[in-house]
Each structure stands twice: as structure tokens, then as C-alpha cells.
Structure 1
Amino acid sequence: MQWEFEMSMMGELSFFLGLQVKQSKDGIFLNQNKYCKEILKKFEMENCKEASTPMSTNYYMDGDLAGTLVDQTKYRVWIGSLLYLTVSRSSIMFAVCLCAQYQSSSNESHFKASKRMLKYLKGTTSIALWHPSHSPMHLVGYFDSYFVGCKLDRKITGGTCHLLGSSLISWHSKKQACVVLSTAEAEYIVVGSCCAQTFWIKQQLEDFRLKVSKVHLLCDNTSAINLTKNHIQHSITKHIEIRHHFIGDHVSNGD
């Protein structure tokens, strides 16, 4: 980096914008333990009870128009703090993004859901990301979809993550901008999003002179896999826009 920028060495990196870095010859630990404790103290949740998960698996969240409104500014600060925590805590990504959709009209039910995430963090402040130094340079992508997860507009939510060897390096959760008619379509649309993220990561690795050839994207839906190989003879493809078919080209090209 000194070839491109005017900079000087200030010693081994250990702390940067709330992100703690612990380096050793075996690898690197990344966590936000200090930042996590700070937001627990900020929102007076230091002595709260612990929760085993950031959100219940059968929890349903909607606009709840009949609910009692809460302080919108406080809720936005609350969600903003949690969003920054997703830099190292992929386990809360889906729950935080779900709560973030209601920042303009938040009420007690949304506030209660966000408080559960802090209860979860209370018992998991020491969790960190481990990046071993001898991990093989194999890029693998995982993805899944939450079919008609939103009860208001019936749109799907897709989630992806990427591992470089055994190191988790990228993850996201996003509600798609379209409504689908089957789980196959839902998975197929999300695999396109995963593919786009994969090519962005490949480009980043090439900037570091690391060449990644064929990437494995892992899917649990047989119909979606078949669509990537041949989307001409499947009747369900008539509901899918052209922009979602680019994954088929990269499968045929061996990418």
C-alpha cells in the first residue's frame, strides 16, 4: 500500500473504529466486544436477562398500526448501533435488517424485538470471527430465501454468506424487490444476488493477486439448480425477469 499512498507504519493493528483485532502466527481474531458492552451500557441493558437467540423462529413482525408509538429518534439510534455491530456479528444480521424496516413508524412491538437482540448480545459479547492463516484459498458461497417472509407485500427475503477457506468474509440479508410464485423462483432470484456478490469478491481478490477460478454456490433447492442449467424448458421461468437469468450464463461458462 505504500507504493500507492503516502503512509507510515504505526505498529500492529489492534483496534479500529470499534473493531478489535488480535493477531497471531496462527491467524486473526476479529470482534466488537468493547463496542458491544458500550451499547449495552448506553441503553441500560447491562443487567438484563440473556436470550439464546436474537429472534424467535416463529416471530411475526408487521407494521402493527394499532400498537403504541415509541420515540422514533431513540429507536433509530438503537437500530443504527445494532447495524454497526453486524460488521462482525452475522448472527444478528437478519433480525436487525427486519427491525430496520420500521424506523419511520416504530412502536412497542418493534422496540421489544430489538431489545431481545441486546439480551442475546449480553450473553455472547465474546464471540469473534476467526481467520486462520493456513486456510486454503477456496471461495464458497451459501444462500437461502425466506419465501413470502413479509406478510405485508409478500416479498421474499434472501440471505447469503461467503467463506474463503474456513473464514467467513461476507454476509448480508436483504428483502428482494419482487414477488414470486414458488420457492423455486425465490431460491433462483437469491442465487443471482449471491452470484453478483461472488464476482465482486473475486474482483477484490484479483486486486490482491489471488486468482480464484471455479466457485461453488451451495443451494438446497433442486428446481433452482436445474433452472441455472436450463431455463428454457421450465414453465416457471415465465414469471422471472431477464435480469435474474444471468446466473445461467455463468454456470454454462464454468464460473
Structure 2
Amino acid sequence: MSKSAFLYGNITEEVYVKQPPGFEDPAHPNKVYIVVKALYGLQSSPQEQGMNELFHFTLKHHGYRRGAIDKTLFIKKDRRDIMLVQVYVDDIIFGSTKSSMVKDFEDLMQKEFKMSSMGELTFFLGLQVKQTTAGIFLSQDKYVKDILNKFDFRTIKPASTPIEAHKSLGKDEEGEDVDVHLYRSMIGCLMYLTASRPDIMFVVCLCARFQVTPKVSHMHAVKRIFRYLKHQPKLGLWYPKDSPFHLEAFSDSDYAGDNHDRRSTSGGCQYLGRRLVSWQCKKQTIVAISSTEAEYVAAASCCAQVLWMQNQLLDYGFNFMNTEIHIDNESTICIVKNPVLHSKTKHIQIRHHFIRDCYEQRLINVVKVHTDDNVADLLTKDFDLARFNFLVVTIGMMNP
């Protein structure tokens, strides 16, 4: 991690600052300083490219190349070994299949920049990382504890699921208003938690739809999520070392699940072997006139994520074309495989039909999966306790 990352970047705008107390120029007390380096507190500092470009130039000079998709990723290969460097503002994560490459990178950073090595990765941007010989476990139980304390839910009664099964949540225009700032603060904290908790993704996104005028019923639903977190504070994602390494995806949707505008919710998740690496939950922008159309729109959204991951993985040296997308709707699969527009599909917006081209180019392949085995179900609707627990385990979550 850099001790002064912004100071390595030149700013491109003309910025002046007052003379700071204790550093006034006695010969020119009424003059101001012109800023030539990015500083913490400046609105444009995180956007300045000076540090990033200097970092890029330094690594390029030592045999690294920048990722084609992710410009904050730097890669160096040595025959069958690879070194990966991921930069996030002034934090750096790096790892390699060869220990000597790690040591060389540490020496380079300490020589070229004022860097301090924090050792093996255990904590990053709120994510707790536990590395073992069997695999890696990601969780946010410290963050769960913090937000339970923040909203004074230390003694709240635990709940076994994040939402009551088969209980609809609508606008409730006749309901009593609640503190909008408190509601939004709670939603914001929960949204950050979804970085490692797909088990609450659906209900958090559902409650987030009512941030404009939240009612008592919505607040009760949010508190139910916190009650569930009290019950399962340490649940996280397990990435086994011995898992196969291939890209596959699952897509699903509910049909007209929103009671107000009857729009559906798309859900998708992507795996590398048995490792869940990406998941999505989003309310659709169109009103589907059939469950097939809702599933088709969800599949197109999942396909877009798969294409991005395919291109990203090319930087790592893996070519995962013809990726399988598992769908539990037979009619949707038929539409994807049929390049001819007909009366049942011509009303669907053109932007959703790109999935057909991806199928014809063998970038993806659509595969039928039984509804009971579709793990993306967890991201689109609520369930009773037995089904919910099954999906949580199947999607790849566990307690440490």
C-alpha cells in the first residue's frame, strides 16, 4: 500500500490553496500556492491519472502488461508462471504462482515508491479473507457486527430467513411514513454487505426500491434482514482449491413479481467450477407479457455478464468460449436457438436479442436445468426455510 499515492500524480487542472497555518511565507503573506501534485481532499484527486500512469510506466519497464478489459490489472508471465497485480486507488493486491516473482515485486515497489507490504491478504475493503490449504473463505462478519451495533440491533430477535415467505411488499401508499434518512442509511449498509452475501441480495434490492417514501411496512422488512444477519453473522463464500476450473452461469427470473408495476426481477450468477464469482439481481425495465419473455430478458442480462467475464479471463490466459448458461425455461431456450423472429418475440426490445448472436457464434450455449437445481432462484424470489437453506448451501455459502 502506498503511503502517499496521490502525491505521485500530477493534476491537470489549475488549483490554488491558501497558505496553511505555520507555513506562511513571511515575504509574501497575502499570496496563495499553486498545486502541482494531487492531494487528499481535492475533488479531482481520485480521478487524476498521474499515479496510475507512473505506476503503469514502471511496471511496463519491468515486463508487465496492462489488462485489456480492466486497466487496473497488471500481468507478468514467466513461462508457465504468472504474476497478477490489482490496483485500487492506493491499495494493491498481488499474487503469483511463483514465490520469487512476489519477492521481486515487493522489492520493486519499495525501491520505486514509498510502499509498505502488509503481508498475506487477510482484510481488504471490508472483506475478510481466510486462506487455507483447502481453499479461500470470504466473509464480512466484522462488518455485520458493526452495522448491528450502529443501528442498535445488538439484542434483536434472530430470524431464520431474510424475508417472510410469500409476503408481498408494495408501495403501501396508505402506510405511515418513517425516517427516510435512517431507512436509506440502513439500505446503504446492506447494499455494501451484498458483496459477499448473495443470500440477502434479493430482499435488499427489493427494499431499496422504496427509498423515496419508505413506510412502516418497508422498515419492518429491513429490520427482518438485520434479524437474519443476527442469526447468520458469519456466513460467507467458500472457494475450494480442488474445484474444477470452467466458466458456467445460471439465469432465472420471477414473473410479474412487483405488485405495483408488474415488472419481473432478473437473477443471474456465474461460477468458475464450484466457485461463485459474480451474481446479479435487477428489476427489469420492461413489463413481460409471459414468463418466457421474462426468462429471456434475464438470460440476455446473464449473457452480457458472461461475455465480460470471458474477455476478462483472456487477460489471465484462459479461453472459456461456448460457456453454458443454465435456464429452467424450455421455451426461452427455443427462442435463443431460433434465429427467426415470429409473433411471440417481435415485440421484445432488440437489445435483448444479442444473446442469439452469441449463441450462433458459440460464445455461449444454453442448457436446460431443472427448477429445483437452479441456484439463481435465490436471487429472484423469497422461499420457505427448507428451500432457502438448500439454495444458500447450493450456491456456495457456508459458515467457517
Report the alpha carbon displacement of residue 10 of structure 1 after superposing the two structures with TM. Answer: 2.6
Report the alpha carbon displacement of residue 133 of structure 1 after superposing the two structures with TM. Answer: 2.1
User: Per-residue displacement from partner, 1:218-255 (whole Å, max 9, x unpaired)?
Assistant: 00101000000004264210221111111111112222
CA distance in 1 between partners of 2:157 and 2:125 (Å):
28
CA distance in 2 between partners of 1:66 and 1:117 (Å):
23
CA distance in 2 between partners of 1:147 and 1:207 (Å):
37
Report the alpha carbon displacement of residue 159 of structure 1 after superposing the two structures with TM. Answer: 0.6
1:10 aligns with 2:125: no
SS in 2 for 1:239: coil
SS in 2 for 1:204: helix
Stretches of structure 1 that go unaligned for 5 or more consecutive residues are none
Moved more, 243-252 or 160-169: 243-252
CA distance in 2 between partners of 1:231 and 1:54 (Å):
41
Report the alpha carbon displacement of residue 17 of structure 1 after superposing the two structures with TM. Answer: 2.1
SS in 2 for 1:251: helix
CA distance in 1 between partners of 2:246 and 2:292 (Å):
27
CA distance in 2 between partners of 1:22 and 1:50 (Å):
26
User: Per-residue displacement from partner, 1:178-213 (whole Å, max 9, x unpaired)?
Assistant: 111100111011100000000111111112222212
Pairwise CA RMSD of aligned residues?
Answer: 1.6
TM-score relative to the length of structure 1: 0.95
CA distance in 2 between partners of 1:151 and 1:192 (Å):
24
Report the alpha carbon displacement of residue 157 of structure 1 after superposing the two structures with TM. Answer: 0.7
CA distance in 2 between partners of 1:206 and 1:41 (Å):
43
Moved more, 209-218 or 220-229: 209-218
Partner of 1:197: 305
CA distance in 2 between partners of 1:170 and 1:208 (Å):
17
* 1:86-97 aligned within 5 A: 86-97=194-205
CA distance in 2 between partners of 1:156 and 1:128 (Å):
28
1:130 aligns with 2:130: no
CA distance in 2 between partners of 1:214 and 1:130 (Å):
26
CA distance in 1 between partners of 2:343 and 2:212 (Å):
40
1:227 aligns with 2:335: yes
Q: 1:251 is matched with which residue: 319, 339, 359? A: 359
What amino acid is the match of 1:22? K
SS in 1 for 2:345: helix
Q: 2:146 is matched with which residue: 10, 30, 38? A: 38
The number of residues matched between the two structures is: 255
Q: Is the 8 A contact 1:227 1:234 kept in 2?
A: no
% identity of equivalent residues = 47
Describe the shift of the 1:240–1:148 C-alpha distance in structure 2 as closer, same or farther (beyond 3 A): same
More strand by share: 2
Q: 1:109 is matched with which residue: 217, 233, 236? A: 217
Which of the two has higher C-alpha Rg? 2
1:160 aligns with 2:268: yes
Moved more, 54-63 or 84-93: 54-63
* 1:37-186 aligned within 5 A: 37-186=145-294
What amino acid is the match of 1:194? C
CA distance in 2 between partners of 1:25 and 1:189 (Å):
40
CA distance in 1 between partners of 2:320 and 2:287 (Å):
34
SS in 2 for 1:173: strand
CA distance in 2 between partners of 1:224 and 1:231 (Å):
13
Describe the shift of the 1:233–1:84 C-alpha distance in structure 2 as closer, same or farther (beyond 3 A): closer
Q: Is the 8 A contact 1:142 1:218 kept in 2?
A: yes
User: Per-residue displacement from partner, 1:79-116 (whole Å, max 9, x unpaired)?
Assistant: 00000000000010010011011111001100000000
TM-score relative to the length of structure 2: 0.62
What amino acid is the match of 1:223? S
Moved more, 107-116 or 205-214: 205-214
Partner of 2:82: none
CA distance in 2 between partners of 1:221 and 1:26 (Å):
36
Moved more, 23-32 or 1-10: 1-10
What amino acid is the match of 1:201? M
User: Per-residue displacement from partner, 1:130-160 (whole Å, max 9, x unpaired)?
Assistant: 1122322211111111111112111111110
